[in-house]
Amino acid sequence: MKITVVGLGYIGLPTAILFAKYGNTVTGVDLSPVMTDNLNAGRIHIEEPGLETDLQEALALNKFHASTTPVNADAYIIAVPTPNKNDEYKSCDTAYVESALASITPFLKKNDTIIVESTIAPRTMADVVQPLIEKQGFTVGQDIFLAHCPERVLPGNIMHELVHNPRIIGGITEQCTEKAAAVYGEFVEGEIIKAQAGEAELSKLMENTYRDVNIALANELAKISNYLEIDALRVIEMANKHPRVNLHQPGPGVGGHCLAVDPYFVIAAAPEQSPLMQTARQVNNSMPEYVVENVKEIMEQRDGNTVTLFGLTYKGNIDDIRESPAMEIKDMLVKEGFDVKSFDPHVISAPLTGEEACEDSSLIVVLSDHNEFRTIPTAYTDKMRTPMIFDTKNMVQNVGEQVVYANYGNLHEMTKDKAQYQFN
């Protein structure tokens, strides 16, 4: 099979490489000539275990080539970003999807399959994608086969999960679903779930909205517990002993191109019917400010003005800073007048070593749960003016005896005036 994948980001590139690894002739398309040149030389631009090795294998098989323009294929996969619009409900911006579709239309022929992997709002396939294809004179379901196949993978384990996770295939027609299912049958070993396009669109969005809502509940619990001077983490631990309770962990906010974005696509599609989702977004969006307010209170009791951030990514063990609450917290602390240093071994733009970032610092704030942060070496804390850690991810396991350690369990013991942000 000849496959063209448009968009070589965190999902498009692994997908393209896997199709090639399994024997298909794949052209990966991206607008950046630097990126495509690097890929053709065997160099990747994202951090993902196993990806570079698989790329080099696909290149050795002569099955993968990166290009800035599409080529003729049997199947076209669209994996481009879908950011929020700057409107009232932050609705889904399909501009990149529409541009990607326009780029492949000169190559379309009868019996081709087009699959949109990009996360999209409900009814986008029917209301946006299908009309664009039919304007070219094709009949969807007879000449061209359209389906939405949302990605459902965890960064850091993408290469495994793309193969083994269940895959939802939502076609415009039943025949569209069958054609798209045959494409993914090239490498997917997990269950192929056949659905309608709208079902697939909403299912993906609700997977992420479910997590967003439950994280909001945990974050609100952290605020309530801090106000009431109760250990939130102990409460969560005990409540989760119940066989039908699974409270999530609180954190510094919600980031990434899924959880912080996707709920708005549902909200925008049905604003009157989604008050719970809107409230959850408000709670999670408030967490960076909540972290900063607590940092300010802690620093009022410390000597010095330097704060060190451990982690800039939105989750652990990856290099992705998209929608990261850590980046928002960093900007807010700078605006508050703090001298802010950052240490993140996964992010190129944070080049300081742990020792350098902790030099003369009065507080470490852990914002990403990288494995490297499970133990904070004394070589770091010995460099500090006053060694203290505020662990917003509740993940640090080992610190020196002289280090003051705070998390959402004992935060109320470290701060003074809690009433001002009781339920922000």
For the 2-190 domain, the top CATH level (class) is alpha beta
The predicted pLDDT at position 421 comes to 38
Element (H, E) at 170: strand 167-171
The region, left, alpha or beta by phi > 0 then psi within -120 to 50, assigned to residue 360 is left
Active site residue 258: yes
Catalytic residue among 92, 149, 176, 258: 258
How far is Cα 18 from Cα 159, in angstroms, rounded to an integer?
Answer: 8
**Has residue 423 got a pLDDT over 70?**
no
**Has residue 419 got a pLDDT over 70?**
no
- Please provide the distance, in angstroms rounded to a whole number, between the alpha carbons at the two ends of the chain: 54
- Write out the residue limits of the CATH 3.40.50.720 domain(s) in the chain: 2-190, 286-413
- Write out the residue limits of the CATH 1.10.1040.10 domain(s) in the chain: 204-280
pLDDT one-digit tens code per residue, 220-268: 999 999 999 999 999 999 999 999 999 999 999 999 888 999 999 999 9
One-character DSSP codes across 373-412: GSB--HHHHTTSSS-EEEETTS---B--TT-EEE-TTTGG
Active site residue 204: yes
3-state secondary structure of 364: strand
Residue bearing tokens 């003729």: 72
Average pLDDT, the chain: 95
Burial of 388 (0-12, 13-18, 19+ CB in 10 A): buried
pLDDT one-digit tens code per residue, 334-375: 999 999 999 999 998 889 999 999 999 999 999 999 999 999
Using alpha carbons only, what angle is made at residue 77 by residues 71 and 79, rounded to the nearest 5 degrees? 115
**Has residue 416 got a pLDDT over 70?**
no
What are the phi and psi torsion angles at 20 (to 5°)?
-70, -40
pLDDT one-digit tens code per residue, 140-180: 999 999 999 998 888 889 999 999 999 999 999 999 999 99
* Architecture category of domain 204-280 in CATH: Orthogonal Bundle (1.10)
Mean predicted confidence (pLDDT) in 285-299: 97
pTM for this prediction? 0.91
Catalytic residue among 21, 63, 194, 204: 204
Neighbours of 420 (CB within 10 A): 8
Q: Tell which residue, 274, 137, 267, 146, has the closest CA to residue 198.
A: 146
- Token couple for 365: 């704030």
Mean predicted confidence (pLDDT) in 93-99: 98
The predicted pLDDT at position 390 comes to 98
Mean predicted confidence (pLDDT) in 52-80: 97
3-state secondary structure of 123: coil
Pick the CATH number of 286-413 from 3.40.190.10, 3.40.50.720, 3.40.50.2300, 3.30.950.10: 3.40.50.720
Task: Give Cβ neighbours of residue 42 (< 8 Å, ≥ 6 apart).
Answer: 52, 55, 56, 59
